[in-house]
Amino acid sequence: MTPRDIGRRSLSRSHSRSHRTLVRLAPAVLGWLLLGSIGTTLHGQAVADPVTVADSADAERVDSAPIHFVNDVVPILTKAGCNMGVCHAKAGNGQNGFQLSLLGFEPLEDYESLVKQARGRRLFPAVPEQSLLLLKATNRMSHVGGARLDPDSESYQVLVRWIEQGAPWGDPAAAELVSLEVRPDRGTVLPGGEQPIAAIAHYSDGSQRDVTDLALFESNDKAMAEVDESGLVTVADIPGKVAVMVRYQGKISVFNASVPLGVTVTETPPIRNFIDVGVFDNLREIGVPPSELCDDETFLRRVSLDIAGRLPTAQEANEFLASDAPDKRDQVIDRLLRSPEYADFFANKWTALLKNRRDDASDITSNFAFHAWVRDSLLANVPYDQWVRELLAATGTILTNPPVAWYKRVKQPIEQLEDVAQLFLGVRMQCAQCHHHPFERWSQDDYYGMAAFFSQIGRKPTATRGEDMIFHNRGTAQATNIKTGQPIRPAAMGETLPEIAADQDPRLKLADWMSDPENPFFAKALVNRYWKHFFRRGLIEPEDDIRDSNPPTNPELLRALEEHFVSSGYDLKSLIREITRSSAYQLSAIPNEYNLADTQNYSRYYPRRLQAEMMLDAIDDLAGSQTDFPNLPRGTRAIALPDNSYNRASPFLRVFGRPENSSVCECERTQTSSLAQSLHLMNAADVKAKLAQAGGRADRLAQADAPLEDRIDELYLAAFARRPTAEEQTIAIEYLTEPPLDADGNPIATAEPIKPNAEAFQDLIWALINAKEFLFNH
């Protein structure tokens, strides 16, 4: 049955006979038939307005143009919020049994729900204003969603005319929406200013329509800008870039606003590479002066934590500060990238995202093997595209080919496609499994086209419980769209690929597509993820939500990072080297008089709290202690733990939010502060034990013969990679040399100078550990 047939048969069959009868009845009888008891109820609900029957002259509408369901009705339902996920597009059966598709992406289904479902009870062509649809929408009949339409509005009148015309589907040959344009598409808006924007729909016949009143608007950063239902954008006083997404009938367009501070930027730190060009050009455009470069002490601590996940030692700090080599910062970067701690730290990052999780005691061998493979690949600097290919196309057993372990954790094609899309392409596809993605162009066919790449994975049980041998199962690669029941061949994010032969592993074809230099997602997702690692905020935020409606704050810089990464042969160490060598990375965290409010333009370094593993290792380094982990050699650092199982044995890791490796989202890691964390640092038994450990730093410093000033210097170098200020030195000496007190709290006079004991040094280390300067990378 065609849409025209549906329109012809639906309401006409239900109402034609009753309509012919009703128009011959007296008004009073008509009211009784409609309301059950004159002017009081309809469908069992109270009705506010009495029914009046118009004469034939009144029935002639001024606007008799035919209404098209898709082009005219669905946008009204969307603007009114009827087909939102919390209302009638709610999963299950909609709201109170009335089901619409999310945001009107399935208009044919919506048409049947409105016109045919429940015997057509929602529409009443004889008196359109008394249709259940309109009574509910205007709240003249009790409606959980309240009033969604004004009876005096044009949208209401369109629905009345549509129902009056018999609720047609509309001309199948009618023009279709092909694109949405926002005018203007970009602009500069002064802080506190306003900018009206208009939405223009373009149709297949070349016509245009201003659909501003029916479009949906949403700001991607409500702290920077808000937008009302009419498209009026109002910006706050935060400088930077903000985007407003405009949505109409499944099409999306974006208005990009630049909010300048307006200060003339005459000087910037030295330009060291293309990253500085991108950052500082943007700062000039918006008029935000950058902070100065950080000092050597801050840089050494910052880059050691960001690359190797550890504090520099006191000796490393001493040597670095004493060096007068002009390229000593570059030397430190290269040394850290060669270190095993670099591989440990980034393997910890990647294995968490790849779900290297221990659910059973039998997982230990596979988890260790997988972690070792990731770590060794990073240490050897295996090209990123090759590393991803080895993971996606892994075959065999875990012992002979460790990346197979990923398929132990992610077993179903839908899980595999969702994880690959989010982790390696920066696209969240989960919504498209059941309906068209609400913020992007991805349809259910796109979703199952990605799933088809993983449809021919064969499994054969091995001698190890829960582990399978993975192989390519010869056959035609396809996945079934659960809604339509149609088989879908492999398609990469909507892009159709050449036919894949039955004996070819489709995962290899997916890897080929991903590593293509022209791929719009692969390199972008990685450089944005790594940018966030070093700058706290991605150029696209969240870092794994790349879409047209969520544009980067600095698109030119993101493009330059992509180009560098691809041209370097997907070299991860080269990318890190470029980022950390830049003056932008080496800016001070101390704001100047202009850039305190900046949170997205990188005019200064944004401090962030140390991750759980980094903080535990840092405390061990400062206290001279060790944390013992089951089944691992003594001295293993927390950043080198292979899986999540050690969280159970470490209250510290749990309290400070080490992830359980159950999600590809970095948001699983807790980075916010809490009262429990503060209390743990101050009072927890494990922290106290580290401070008092025999042979630890406090014990050793108490027994050392070195001048007290040198011992205090060592503590500050180990904690902050700097020496104490004169004031800090004086306070520390005064505390360490305080005379003992008697029972009444009075100082006891001594003939010899006070020699600090281990407990005094423990107190000083405890104070340093609880300082924000220690807990944050700045």
Q: Is residue 459 part of a domain?
A: yes
Domain boundary among 466, 498, 514: 514
What is the CA angle 81-82-88, rounded to 5? 130
pLDDT higher than threshold 90 for residue 319 = yes
- Other beta carbons within 10 angstroms of residue 44's beta carbon come to 7
Residue 163 pLDDT: 87
Closest CA to 597 of 332, 239, 331: 239
Q: Is residue 498 part of a domain?
A: yes
Taking residues 658-662, report their average pLDDT: 90
Query: Do residues 544 and 529 touch, judged by C-beta distance below 8 A?
Result: yes
Question: What b-and-e string marks burial along 671-707, b requiring 16 or more CB atoms within 10 Å of the CB?
Answer: eeeeeebeebbeebeebeebbebeebbbbebbeeeee
pLDDT higher than threshold 50 for residue 437 = yes
What is the CA angle 423-428-432, rounded to 5? 140
The pLDDT-based confidence of 435 (bands split at 50, 70, 90) is low
Residue 4 pLDDT: 43
pLDDT higher than threshold 70 for residue 438 = no
Residue 91 pLDDT: 55
Residue 436 pLDDT: 56
Q: Is residue 64 part of a domain?
A: yes
Query: Do residues 726 and 713 touch, judged by C-beta distance below 8 A?
Result: no
Residue 773 sits in which domain range? Answer: 697-777
Q: Is residue 473 part of a domain?
A: yes
pLDDT in tens, 627-653: 999 989 999 999 999 999 999 989 999
CB neighbour list of residue 589: distance below 8 Å, 6 or more residues apart: 291, 294, 298, 604, 605, 606, 607, 778
Residue 150 pLDDT: 83
Taking residues 584-604, report their average pLDDT: 95
Query: Do residues 320 and 328 touch, judged by C-beta distance below 8 A?
Result: yes
pLDDT in tens, 738-753: 887 777 777 777 766 7
Residue 651 pLDDT: 93
Q: Residue written as tokens 């295996």?
A: 382
Give the tokens for residue 480. Answer: 């079934």
Domain boundary among 514, 547, 580: 514
Number of domains in the chain: 3
For residue 29, give Cα distances in angstroms to 16, 47, 59.
18, 17, 19
Which residue stretches of 116-271 are H helix?
Answer: 132-137, 154-164
Residue 84 pLDDT: 65
pLDDT in tens, 720-738: 999 999 999 999 999 999 8
Taking residues 384-403, report their average pLDDT: 95
Of 274-283, 476-485, 672-681, least confident by mean pLDDT is 476-485
Question: Positive or negative CA dihedral for 234, 236, 237, 243?
Answer: negative
Residue 211 pLDDT: 94
Pairwise pLDDT comparison (279 vs 544), residue with the higher score: 279
pLDDT higher than threshold 90 for residue 167 = no
Of 32-36, 347-351, 356-360, 727-731, least confident by mean pLDDT is 32-36
Q: Is residue 568 part of a domain?
A: no
Query: Do residues 636 and 616 touch, judged by C-beta distance below 8 A?
Result: no
Taking residues 65-83, report their average pLDDT: 84
pLDDT higher than threshold 80 for residue 134 = yes
Residue 38 pLDDT: 30
Pairwise pLDDT comparison (128 vs 226), residue with the higher score: 226
Taking residues 153-171, report their average pLDDT: 88
pLDDT higher than threshold 90 for residue 127 = no
Domain boundary among 122, 149, 164: 164
Taking residues 316-325, report their average pLDDT: 96
Residues written for the chain: 778
Q: What is the mean pLDDT of the chain?
A: 86
Give 91: exposed, middle or buried? Use CB within 10 Å, 0-12, 13-18, 19+.
Answer: exposed
Query: Do residues 92 and 129 touch, judged by C-beta distance below 8 A?
Result: no
Residue 448 pLDDT: 87
Residue 573 pLDDT: 98
Residue 255 pLDDT: 93
Of 237-246, 298-307, 368-377, 584-593, least confident by mean pLDDT is 237-246
How far is C-alpha 447 from the chain's CA centre? 19
**% residues pLDDT > 90 (the chain):** 61
The pLDDT-based confidence of 612 (bands split at 50, 70, 90) is very high
Q: Is residue 336 part of a domain?
A: no
The C-alpha atoms of residue 451 and residue 453 are separated, in whole angstroms, by 5
Cα atoms in the 13 Å half-sphere on the side-chain side of 115:
28
Cα atoms in the 13 Å half-sphere on the side-chain side of 131:
27
Query: Do residues 511 and 519 touch, judged by C-beta distance below 8 A?
Result: no
Q: Is residue 587 part of a domain?
A: no
Q: Is residue 301 part of a domain?
A: no
Report the predicted TM-score, pTM, of the whole model to 2 decimal places.
Answer: 0.84
The pLDDT-based confidence of 402 (bands split at 50, 70, 90) is very high
Q: Residue written as tokens 């003992």?
A: 740
Pairwise pLDDT comparison (620 vs 740), residue with the higher score: 620
The pLDDT-based confidence of 484 (bands split at 50, 70, 90) is confident
Taking residues 411-424, report their average pLDDT: 91
pLDDT higher than threshold 50 for residue 49 = no
- Strand-pair category, 177-183 with 186-188: unpaired
Which residue stretches of 339-401 are H helix?
Answer: 340-353, 364-379, 384-392
**% residues pLDDT > 70 (the chain):** 87
Could you give the 3-state DSSP secondary structure of residue 90? coil
Residue 159 pLDDT: 87
pLDDT in tens, 491-536: 888 788 888 999 999 999 999 999 999 999 999 999 999 999 999 9
The pLDDT-based confidence of 19 (bands split at 50, 70, 90) is very low
Taking residues 371-400, report their average pLDDT: 96
The C-alpha atoms of residue 533 and residue 777 are separated, in whole angstroms, by 12
